[in-house]
């Protein structure tokens, strides 16, 4: 058994915004698709998150801010009283286990299907450009629907959805929120000129395309305070419909990050590369240079193992590291990484859907490395 805390401060306490973290290991938002159609968490989800409460910070799975924001069946929401009550069970369990948890606020935008939308409406997007790919509904896997472009007059309503969800997250007992402006969902669709062909104040120039993300951030900060709000970006990931990157990633996201500094956020969380696939980035793009523009704490994410986390922390390139898939089968991931215990690898069929199997039934280790079943 090797105590890896002797070679890195990843396992040491860290103050990030308003959060006093016992370590710099973050549980990334990981969609598990185990909710009912009402998007209400229950005791099973409370157990799942509480089992992983030894992470310095838990970021909830992406959570729909409204019925319109929904793009996949069996994902959670944070806009109804019932969802608030369900999440309160989760946050209470996490806090009882000594943890801290923030809610990731999510609107999928164009990546949805009419069967998932209120009254069978078309999904909304910055522009009427159809995504590629499939999603899943109560009727099975289907091709995503053609979206309609939001009217300028509807934008304040979108911001209000985020504000309402942020208020609901506070009532649900979360410690803060993360604005999901990544993975080619709604806010990222506005950022990229590949998906935003608007000619109003939310399209065209970089200043206009970043406007919605900044206005949403401002609205959420007004509810929570700046030191309890983080934001997630993914400058090059093609997820959610094989969305092409912006034509000038460094300039667009560089401008956004500089503007975000004015909010003094708790953290910036960047997907380094393509979400859940590769850390490679196109030629001419330097994510470390983008990170350097941010004046606050930085969480690195995507494809990290312990060695990479230790190395990038030693170089000062990250303040904390978010692990996603390793947390699925290793609820005690922090201890396993610290003491060099073997990691369990979850089969892909355990990722999405189902009940307790492959969700809350993973074994943990004790201080000596033996498995507790």
For the chain, report the end-to-end CA distance as a whole number of angstroms.
20
CB of 64 within 8 A of CB of 106?
yes
Q: Which of 48, 49, 72, 185 is catalytic?
A: 185
Quick one: tokens of 173? 């007992």
Burial of 342 from C-beta contacts in 10 A (0-12 / 13-18 / 19+): exposed
Collapsing DSSP to helix, strand or coil, 293 comes out as coil
269 has which bridge partners? 232, 299
Locate 162 and state its tokens: 């985020």
Strands 320-323, 298-301: pairing kind: parallel
Q: Which residues contact 153 (CB under 8 A, 6 or more apart)?
A: none
Q: What share of the chain is helix, strand, coil (3-state, %, to 5)?
A: 35, 15, 50
63-64/101-106 β-pairing = parallel
Closest to 100 (Cα-Cα) out of 34, 153, 166, 56:
56
Is the alpha carbon torsion for 364, 366, 371, 373 positive or negative? negative
Residue 95: closest CA among 59, 26, 49: 49
Give the angle 38-42-44 at the CA atoms, nearest 5°.
125
Residue 162 annotated among the catalytic residues of the structure:
no
The residues annotated with a catalytic role in the active site are 185
């Amino acid at each position: 058994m090797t105590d890896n805390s002797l070679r890195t401060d990843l396992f040491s306490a860290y103050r990030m915004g308003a959060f006093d973290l016992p370590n710099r290991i973050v549980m990334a938002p990981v969609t598990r698709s185990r909710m009912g159609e009402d998007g209400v968490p229950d005791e099973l989800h409370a157990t799942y998150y509480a089992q992983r409460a030894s992470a310095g910070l838990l970021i909830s799975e992406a959570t729909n801010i409204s019925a319109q924001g929904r793009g996949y069946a069996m994902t959670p929401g944070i806009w109804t009283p019932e969802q608030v009550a369900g999440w309160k069970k989760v946050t209470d369990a996490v806090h009882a286990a000594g943890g801290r948890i923030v809610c990731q606020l999510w609107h999928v935008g164009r990546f949805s299907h009419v069967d998932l939308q209120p009254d069978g409406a078309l999904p909304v997007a910055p522009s009427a450009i159809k995504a590629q790919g499939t999603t899943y509904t109560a009727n099975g896997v289907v091709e995503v629907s053609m979206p309609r472009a939001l009217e300028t007059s509807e934008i304040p309503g979108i911001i209000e959805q985020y504000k309402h969800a942020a208020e609901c997250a506070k009532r649900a007992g979360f410690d803060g929120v993360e604005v999901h402006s990544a993975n080619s969902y709604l806010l990222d669709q506005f950022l990229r000129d590949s998906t935003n062909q608007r000619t109003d104040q939310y399209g065209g120039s970089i200043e206009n395309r970043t406007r919605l993300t900044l206005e949403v951030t401002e609205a959420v900060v007004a509810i929570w305070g700046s030191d309890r709000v983080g934001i997630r970006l993914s400058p090059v990931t093609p997820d959610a419909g094989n969305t092409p990157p912006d034509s000038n990633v460094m300039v667009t996201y560089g401008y956004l990050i500089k503007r975000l500094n004015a909010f003094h956020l708790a953290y910036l969380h960047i997907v380094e590369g393509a979400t859940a696939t590769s850390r490679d980035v196109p030629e001419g793009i330097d994510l470390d240079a983008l990170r350097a523009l941010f004046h606050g704490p930085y969480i690195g994410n995507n494809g990290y193992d312990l060695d990479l986390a230790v190395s990038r922390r030693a170089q000062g390139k990250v303040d904390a590291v978010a692990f996603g898939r390793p947390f699925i089968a290793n609820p005690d991931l922090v201890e396993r990484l610290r003491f060099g215990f073997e990691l369990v690898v979850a089969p892909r069929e355990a990722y999405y859907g189902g009940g307790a199997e492959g969700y809350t039934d993973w074994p943990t280790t004790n201080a000596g490395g033996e498995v507790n079943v």
